[in-house]
Structure 1
Amino acid sequence: MTEELDLKLNTSAYLPLRDIVFNTLREAILRGELRPGERLMEAQLATKLGVSRTPIREAIRMLEQEGLAVTIPRKGAEVAKMTEKDMEDVLEIREALDELAAKIACKKMTESQLTHLKTIGKEFEISLETSDITTIAEKDVEFHDTIYEATENPKLVILLSNLREQMYRYRVEYIKKPENYPKLIKEHNAIVKGLEERDESLLTVAMQKHIKNQALAVKEVIRNQED
């Protein structure tokens, strides 16, 4: 593990210790401070964070559930590498569920929810000017969550939320590049237009284009990391 890595617990959060440790490690992975293939050694992490090995072990299990860590036999846990296959598997499911959610939301989204979606869209655009990757990602998530909630289907929302966690790492890689921002804004606006006009065909095309462009951009990131 990189000795210079500066990990600090957010002790002000009213969460169980394992969740605080998990959030700390998760952010370090997403920010690239803990890099793909880097060992997650319980003893060293416990020393750096000033906690016992138990919450470290529990946090690593949670990271594995998100696809951010993997345990290698006779080697231990390490930060999971991003692969095209993993991303394609996740996006394949997301595309199908997003399309379903969009069609349902097209019928059920209220004017109030549509107004809220537009507001979030504007907040997302403003966040792009801050260069704060965490805030940008949160606003992007909020944009899509607003659509999911409009389906009024809790089971579908849960499935999409679980999938969202697996996608988060790839989403962050995508939004790290400012050259993608104009395209993101255009795609969000197309999605809003499809919902506003209650046009399922227009909305489906917008959603598919949004996911396809993200996939192409992240594949480039993954290939560059492999070189």
Structure 2
Amino acid sequence: MMQYRTKEEQVADFLREGIISGRIARGSRLKQQEIATLLNTSITPVREALKLLAAEGYVLGDSFRGATVAPFDLEASSEVLSLRILLETQLVRAAVEKVTAADIGELRTMAAEFASAFDAGDNEGARAANYRFHHRMFEIARMPQTLHFVQILWARYPFDLINRLHGRVSRAADEHDEMLAALIAGDAAAAMLATREHIEAGFRELRNSVAGTAT
């Protein structure tokens, strides 16, 4: 069962998804009133969500006047990569132990949404579905502090660039299937390995792309 989220948390998650998927561009300005109008809510939860995202590193600036989506440092991403692998594999291991049939149904639906968005040529939608799939899988672990740290790492990771690489979304869909199959089978070791390989594959492809552009 999904956890109840306050309005502040719902707004923060909407913005995280937008930033990670690339729908909200790095360096763009976030205006409280525009966000509140879009989400049909008041200014207060938007202001509090921006404060939370500033603490996590997703945005920079004064939340009262607006905030700017933080840039990322590709060099620092290699350190973030190691931390992601460490924490996300632990979340997956715990998820294997706690997953229910209802959880599996939700994850299958999310994986299908990811694949359907890709098939329809909706890359932005696929990137957003990718975020939801990972977040839901890690929620199942019921390790909120670890998930909180992972979300901080996600703020510093170039998902938007990785998921724009040619063919990456299709390959990620296959990798999701491997993760989900291991989760359904109750095979913690296989689920952890599939998660590690999924994280490493995206970063390796980005690194190779950057190296190819530089030569």
**What's the TM-score bracket when you normalise by the shorter of the two chains?**
0.5 to 0.7
Residue of structure 2 in register with 1:110 after alignment: 100
The 8 Å contact of residues 133 and 172 in structure 1, kept in 2 or not, is answered as: no
Residue of structure 1 in register with 2:207 after alignment: 219
Greater mean deviation of Cα atoms: 178-187 or 134-143: 178-187
Residue of structure 2 in register with 1:194 after alignment: 182
Q: Answer yes or no: is 1:172 the counterpart of 2:160.
A: yes
1:87-133 deviation digits (Å, cap 9, x = unpaired): 11111111001110011001001111011111111110001123333
1:202-217 equivalences in 2 (<5 Å): 202-217=190-205
The 8 Å contact of residues 117 and 126 in structure 2, kept in 1 or not, is answered as: yes
The 8 Å contact of residues 109 and 150 in structure 1, kept in 2 or not, is answered as: yes
User: Given residue 211 of structure 1, which amino acid in structure 2 is its aligned partner?
Assistant: I
1:47-126 equivalences in 2 (<5 Å): 66=57, 82-126=72-116
* Identical residues among aligned pairs (%): 16
Relative to structure 1, the CA distance from residue 186 to residue 67 in structure 2 (aligned partners, 3 Å threshold; closer, same or farther) is same
Relative to structure 1, the CA distance from residue 199 to residue 34 in structure 2 (aligned partners, 3 Å threshold; closer, same or farther) is closer
RCO (CA 8 Å, sep 6+): is it higher in 1 or 2? 2
Relative to structure 1, the CA distance from residue 129 to residue 64 in structure 2 (aligned partners, 3 Å threshold; closer, same or farther) is farther
User: Given residue 200 of structure 2, which amino acid in structure 1 is its aligned partner?
Assistant: K
Residue of structure 1 in register with 2:4 after alignment: none
TM-score, normalising length from structure 2?
A: 0.67
User: Given residue 217 of structure 1, which amino acid in structure 2 is its aligned partner?
Assistant: E
Long gaps (5+) in structure 2: 1-6, 32-49, 62-67
CA distance, structure 1, for counterparts of residue 210 and residue 155 of structure 2: 18
Q: What is the CA-CA distance between 1:191 and the residue it aligns to? A: 0.3
Q: What is the CA-CA distance between 1:80 and the residue it aligns to? A: 6.8
1:178-198 deviation digits (Å, cap 9, x = unpaired): 412332121111101110111
Long gaps (5+) in structure 1: 1-14, 46-58, 71-77
Relative to structure 1, the CA distance from residue 33 to residue 138 in structure 2 (aligned partners, 3 Å threshold; closer, same or farther) is closer
SS of structure 1 residue aligned to 2:180: helix
The 8 Å contact of residues 56 and 152 in structure 2, kept in 1 or not, is answered as: no
The 8 Å contact of residues 84 and 222 in structure 1, kept in 2 or not, is answered as: no
Q: What is the CA-CA distance between 1:224 and the residue it aligns to? A: 5.3
1:178-222 deviation digits (Å, cap 9, x = unpaired): 412332121111101110111111111111110110111121344
Structure 2 counterpart of 1:138, from 128, 135, 143 = 128
Residue of structure 1 in register with 2:151 after alignment: 161
Residue of structure 2 in register with 1:75 after alignment: none
Structure 2 counterpart of 1:148, from 110, 121, 138 = 138
CA distance, structure 1, for counterparts of residue 121 and residue 60 of structure 2: 26
TM-score, normalising length from structure 1?
A: 0.64
User: Given residue 205 of structure 2, which amino acid in structure 1 is its aligned partner?
Assistant: A
Instruction: Kindly tell me the number of residue pairs found equivalent between the two proteins.
Output: 186
SS of structure 1 residue aligned to 2:76: helix
The 8 Å contact of residues 67 and 166 in structure 1, kept in 2 or not, is answered as: yes
SS of structure 1 residue aligned to 2:120: coil
User: Given residue 140 of structure 1, which amino acid in structure 2 is its aligned partner?
Assistant: N
